[in-house]
Amino acid sequence: MTYFDRMFYREHQFAKMSPEVRYKARLEQSKPLLEAYKVWLHATQKKVTAKSGLGKAIAYNLNQ
């Protein structure tokens, strides 16, 4: 599964929760996924040229 598949799967599960429980679940489950994705972005950014399509997509993601 990709990072996004995991995130969407979790969000589907979180939809049934109260806002307070959803917030805690996101901190516990989604935040580590986002941090791992950011690590992957930085590592991959070093391997591609900034002007390539992937390089531009990575820069966009990191600037969000």
pLDDT band at 54 (very low <50, low <70, confident <90, very high): very high
DSSP reduced 3-state for 60: helix
pLDDT band at 3 (very low <50, low <70, confident <90, very high): confident
* Count of structural domains within the chain: 1
Please give the residue range of the domain that contains residue 31: 3-62
Whole-model pTM: value is: 0.79
Check residue 1 and give its pLDDT.
67
Instruction: Please check the confidence at residue 20 and state whether its pLDDT lies above 70.
Output: yes
- The CA-atom distances, in angstroms, between 21 and each of 14, 32, 33, 54 are 8, 17, 18, 36
Ranges of beta strands (E only) in the chain are none
The H or E element containing residue 33 is helix 31-45
